[in-house]
Structure 1
Amino acid sequence: MMVLAMTAIRPPLIIVNFKAYPEALGDRAVEKARLAEDVAEEEGICIIVAPPLVDLALVAREVSIPVFAQHVDPVEPGRRTGHIPPEAVKAAGATGVMLNHAEKRLDYLDIKIAVDRCREVGLLSLVCCAKLRYCNMVVRLGPDMFAFEPPELIGTGRSVTSEKPESLRKAMTIAKRLRPEIIALCGAGVSCGKDVRDAIVLGAEGVLVGSIVRRDDFKAVLGEMARAALRAWEEKGF
């Protein structure tokens, strides 16, 4: 199978959020990232990993797939004790940044500032959106990527694709109508290949997953998701 250029970010794609799970801290973060890299190479798909911030540089040095920071603060470098300016994660080797995840929410103005700051320093931005009614506002902020993630489903194993399919479809439609160039994703409860396939059928261009990093069969599950994404993408004629 032809190997995808590891730095290419294009749909369909999978973002693996390591969160702060003990199974993906320190050396384990590197192990999980290498397994994700193996799947990306074997299946020819874009896989992005988002390790804990303290492990960001370590992971970025060890793999060639894109690495995203889980968060940045909407600030300039300087006297900012405890803050994380975009320049810091850029220097650590990040390609992009997740913003406004349900577990690390930001105010609307702070999202806008953070998106603009990421663009200034050459980082891609992914903004998560918890509610359908906010999708329009979030997309208009101009992030490179957008993810619809109902927080009540995160980590439950109950996928947004089966629990809120119409909301998901509408969110993807809103995003692509407003900004056709945006990469529109979804997450929350996505835990198997079928969930990934259904997400793409409903209009998503990829998924965010997290809980799978806790599984002993992480690589096998990620491979199943990758193949499902590619099949669904091909069936849609892309």
Structure 2
Amino acid sequence: MKAPVVVINFKAYQEAEGDRAFRLAKACQKVSSESGVPMAVCPPHLWLGAIARILEMPVYAQSVDPLPPGPGTGFVTPSMLHSTDVAGTLVNHSEHRIPKDDIGKIVEMCSALKLHTCICAETAEEASDLAGFHPNAVAVEPPALIGGNVSVTSADPGIVSGTVDAVKAVDPKVLVYCGAGVKTGDDVKASMDLGANGVLLASGVVKAKDPEQVLRDLISKI
């Protein structure tokens, strides 16, 4: 599996409920297949396994709990993800923060099952600290810019380049994504010019009237 350049988090938006989640996932796969740009999608848990079964691109969970199989009502375990065609999971998104010890447990459990992990961090310092768990990727997303119209690459380009330097100093193999306000091809190009391996975004695609057109614009300058 090639590492995704664009990771689309569906979150809990109404635009990603029911059949709309499947249509959105298929649009992402279509653009990825036609362009050759690797992408991954993160649907809501309710449709996660079903979408993973029909796509030929990486599908990630939006979160997972650090629990083994057994009693744990209402939780999603790494083993559950492994039993489907899901390729990995986001960890510690700013809207789903978890204790640092749990982050380490999740990375360890997922790694043992060959599930990819992308840890989210709010600052370069936190990204550097969490890179010590040796996930597959770290995504830096300043919370104040998430869901807004100003990209982190414009508002604070130093946090992107600083995160890249900090993470690579800990583990050169860890990929670095940036997010928060990323909506255009210029934003994606800027992030990669700053050293990032790709982007993590949500509303710019999920809430768009024409997600396929937005996706094509996003990768137009790679």
Q: Give the aligned residue type for 1:215.
A: A
The residue that corresponds to 1:200 in the other structure is 192
Identical columns (%): 36
Question: Normalising by the residue count of structure 2, what TM-score does the alignment of the two structures yield?
Answer: 0.97
Q: Which residues of structure 1 form unaligned runs of 5+?
A: 1-7, 231-238
| Residue of 11, 22, 46 corresponding to 1:30 | 22
Alpha-carbon separation, structure 2, partners of 1:9 and 1:150? 26
Q: Which residues of structure 2 form unaligned runs of 5+?
A: none
Q: 1:110: Cα distance to partner? A: 0.5
The residue that corresponds to 2:10 in the other structure is 18
Contact 1:30-1:62 at 8 Å conserved across structures: no
Contact 2:161-2:195 at 8 Å conserved across structures: yes
The residue that corresponds to 1:223 in the other structure is 216
Alpha-carbon separation, structure 1, partners of 2:86 and 2:98? 20
Q: 1:121: Cα distance to partner? A: 1.5
Q: 1:132: Cα distance to partner? A: 2.2
Q: 1:66: Cα distance to partner? A: 0.5
Structure 2 counterpart SS, 1:93: coil
- Report the count of equivalent residues: 221
CA deviation map 1:70-102 (0-9, x unaligned): 000011110111111111122232101100000
Map residues 139-158 of structure 1 onto 2, 5 A cutoff: 139-158=131-150
Q: Is the aligned partner of 1:44 residue 2:31?
A: no
Question: Normalising by the residue count of structure 1, what TM-score does the alignment of the two structures yield?
Answer: 0.90
Contact 1:53-1:70 at 8 Å conserved across structures: yes
CA deviation map 1:149-206 (0-9, x unaligned): 1111000121110011011110011112221111111101101111001000111110
Alpha-carbon separation, structure 1, partners of 2:184 and 2:210? 12
Q: What is the CA RMSD across the aligned residues, in angstroms?
A: 1.0
Q: Give the aligned residue type for 1:77.
A: P
Structure 1 counterpart SS, 2:183: coil
Map residues 114-129 of structure 1 onto 2, 5 A cutoff: 114-129=106-121
Alpha-carbon separation, structure 2, partners of 1:223 and 1:177? 33
The residue that corresponds to 1:69 in the other structure is 61
The residue that corresponds to 1:5 in the other structure is none
Structure 2 counterpart SS, 1:227: coil
Alpha-carbon separation, structure 2, partners of 1:103 and 1:219? 26
Structure 1 counterpart SS, 2:219: helix
The residue that corresponds to 1:60 in the other structure is 52
Q: Give the aligned residue type for 1:199.
A: S
Structure 2 counterpart SS, 1:16: strand
Contact 1:56-1:93 at 8 Å conserved across structures: no
The residue that corresponds to 1:9 in the other structure is 2
Structure 2 counterpart SS, 1:71: coil
Structure 1 counterpart SS, 2:196: coil
Greater CA deviation, 134-143 or 45-54? 134-143
Alpha-carbon separation, structure 1, partners of 2:215 and 2:122? 24
CA deviation map 1:135-159 (0-9, x unaligned): 2211111101110111110001211
Q: 1:106: Cα distance to partner? A: 0.8
Alpha-carbon separation, structure 2, partners of 1:183 and 1:227? 21
Q: Is the aligned partner of 1:105 residue 2:111?
A: no
